[in-house]
Amino acid sequence: MGVSASLFGLHDLLQREVGRTQYEAYESGKYNTGRKIVYSSDEGNILWTLCCWRRSNQNHTNTRKLMKLAKTVLGGTLFDLLMKSSFYGHFVAGEDRHKIVPTLERLRSFGVKPILDYSVEEDLSQEEAEKREVESSVSSAGDVKEDDAMPQYHVDKSFADRRYKVNSARTYFYLNEATCERNMETFIKCLEAVSGATFGTGITAIKLTALGRPQLLLQLSEVIMRTRKYMEDMVGGQGNVLTHHKTIKDLEKYYASLGDNKNVQDFLKNVTSDKEGILHLFPWSGIVDEDSQLSDTFRVPDPKTGQMRRLISQIPPKEEEMFRNMIRRLNTIVKTAAELDVRIMIDAEQTYFQPAISRITLEMMRKYNKEKAIVFNTYQCYLREAFREVNTDLEQAKRQDFYFGAKLVRGAYMEQERARAQALGYPDPVNPSYEATTEMYHKTLTECLRRIKILKDNGEDAKKIGIMVASHNEDTVRYAIEKMKEIGISPEDKVICFGQLLGMCDYITFPLGQAGYSAYKYIPYGPVQEVLPYLSRRAQENKGVLKKIQKEKRLLLAEIRRRLMRGQLFYKPKGNYVPI
């Protein structure tokens, strides 16, 4: 009863907000089942998912072993068949770009668009994963820790297996440059699949850790955080350089005691600023466009001696080249997305990579989001700094005049982040409670909506800010809809969209799509055997997710009962959504 009440609360809201006409279409027979809850999977998938979805006392390795055993007993073909009609069939769209088409069409019939994610993951043991991660996280020159080194940006073997306590996110472990090259090609195929199957409305998800050596992301993240510290020491206050609103004149004053120093003059030549103050201390555009060396770029004059001081330890030429490769791969992917007119979403990962991922993504936005949002960043609202980060990036987009695209999530790595912070002795980056995370999410979303409204009121293109509310939380979806209404942003403005994972919370996604909101499913695809490592983690969700799953289970059971009573034993739901 409680389930239905809150569920129908969202439905009632959709009905009120989008008007009776569209909602009636959805409520009436046009919705095909004549019911409010629809699941896109067929019976086998639902039943098996219900059976498999439980809190397993076993760890991921054991689940994987169990799956391997099942494969040995059943043989490859039978095992694949079993998976396709069960867990795989519920959470994964198909094996390749052709096999996923029926799922995409079924979703389209309900007004739902895809975010494609090629979900192949290497089947590594914990030992292998740790070994690879440690090897690829340290420079061949050694793990140099400067005096003010930050422990979070240095690899630690006990947390080197990044899959630790992470169920829903896919993880890449660096092997060599050739694998990163292959990953790039895969992402490009994914873009082509999205472009072909969705007529430009779909999105491709990518992870930056698939495209290069983690060491470079770690070093770049540390340098970004050390720059902030340098700026704080220089001018006081907190946060990104841009938030300080200092001018070049302020910097000149700061170095005044050094007289006419050539180092300072050269350094200041590369500082980017506008009338509101300094945007960047370093030439980021050079880093993503040209061949500037990381070791040469991140140097600042010492305010006491005038000597140039490195904020990043010396990187050997071969590793500099690897960094260039990573940026080249990303440029190739984003350029292809722009040519195909498909959007690209860069996933957020662990906090020790995030400053680099976010910075590089923002530079890609500056470069490619000139006329529309092609590149989307991801912000994790479980982070204490989330609001400040989003606000600063929105500010940069405004000042440098590019389209800002963001996916807002709560965050998938909480337990790992907390355990690592505690073990390595740095402050926990995650909000102290679930409520604080929710408040952070809602506050950040409200700020985005507020800025969109200002754009609308000023007669500017409201699409300069595009936000995806990526959450399975009904209250958050309801909050977004209510705030849109309150602030004056309609679904037709197409600036806010919603996203849930395939196989989860269809009862939220489909009514949204049917009611004219921009609704997306995050869709994993890939060959059965190669998606299994990811699936075996999905099979044992953690306690928090499990609470939600209880509700999902009740709804799935209700759907199965309903179909049985109607004699719809081999039923494939199909909507008749007509784009508004």
Q: Which residues would be at the binding site for ligand FAD (CB under 6 A)? A: 168-169, 347-348, 378, 380, 382, 409-414, 430-431, 433-434, 437, 470-473, 476, 499-501, 522, 544, 548
Q: Which is nearer to ligand FAD, 222 or 417 (CB)?
A: 417
Q: Which is nearer to ligand FAD, 64 or 410 (CB)?
A: 410
Q: Which is nearer to ligand FAD, 384 or 398 (CB)?
A: 384
**In angstroms, what is the minimal distance from the CB of 66 to ligand FAD?**
25
Q: Which is nearer to ligand FAD, 79 or 91 (CB)?
A: 91
**In angstroms, what is the minimal distance from the CB of 404 to ligand FAD?**
17
DSSP state of 348: P
**In angstroms, what is the minimal distance from the CB of 180 to ligand FAD?**
19
Task: Give the whole-angstrom CA distance, residue 510 versus residue 39.
Answer: 9
Task: Give the whole-angstrom CA distance, residue 68 versus residue 444.
Answer: 43
Given CA atoms 39, 45, 47, 49 in this order, what sign does their dihedral have?
A: negative
In the numeric block, which tokens belong to residue 65? Answer: 């072993």
Beta-bridge partners for 112:
519
**In angstroms, what is the minimal distance from the CB of 505 to ligand FAD?**
8
Beta-bridge partners for 380:
409
**In angstroms, what is the minimal distance from the CB of 169 to ligand FAD?**
6
Beta-bridge partners for 524:
117
Could you write out the three-class secondary structure of 436-467?
A: HHHHHHHHHHHHHHHHHHHHHHCCCCHHHEEE
What count of Cα atoms within 13 Å lies in the side-chain half-sphere of residue 565? Answer: 7
Query: Backbone phi, then psi, for 306, in 5-degree steps?
Result: 80, -5
Kindly list the distances between the CA atom of residue 414 and the CA atoms of 51, 61, 275, 392, 468, in Å, as whole numbers in the listed order: 27, 20, 39, 23, 21
Residue in 576, 482, 580 with CA at minimum distance from that of residue 16: 482
Q: Which is nearer to ligand FAD, 282 or 498 (CB)?
A: 498
**In angstroms, what is the minimal distance from the CB of 468 to ligand FAD?**
7
Q: Which is nearer to ligand FAD, 414 or 515 (CB)?
A: 414
**Alpha helices (runs of H) in 101-213, residue ranges in sequence order:** 101-109, 126-137, 177-198
Residue in 244, 235, 243, 241 with CA at minimum distance from that of residue 270: 241
**In angstroms, what is the minimal distance from the CB of 167 to ligand FAD?**
9
**In angstroms, what is the minimal distance from the CB of 418 to ligand FAD?**
9
505: left (phi over 0), alpha (psi -120 to 50) or beta: left
Task: Give the whole-angstrom CA distance, residue 508 versus residue 548.
Answer: 13
Q: If you search the block for the tokens 């704080």, which residue do you land on?
A: 232
Q: Which is nearer to ligand FAD, 355 or 411 (CB)?
A: 411
Q: Which is nearer to ligand FAD, 15 or 361 (CB)?
A: 361
Residue in 207, 129, 217 with CA at minimum distance from that of residue 524: 207
Q: Which is nearer to ligand FAD, 232 or 415 (CB)?
A: 415
**In angstroms, what is the minimal distance from the CB of 471 to ligand FAD?**
3
**In angstroms, what is the minimal distance from the CB of 112 to ligand FAD?**
12
Residue in 152, 164, 209 with CA at minimum distance from that of residue 415: 164
Q: Which is nearer to ligand FAD, 414 or 448 (CB)?
A: 414
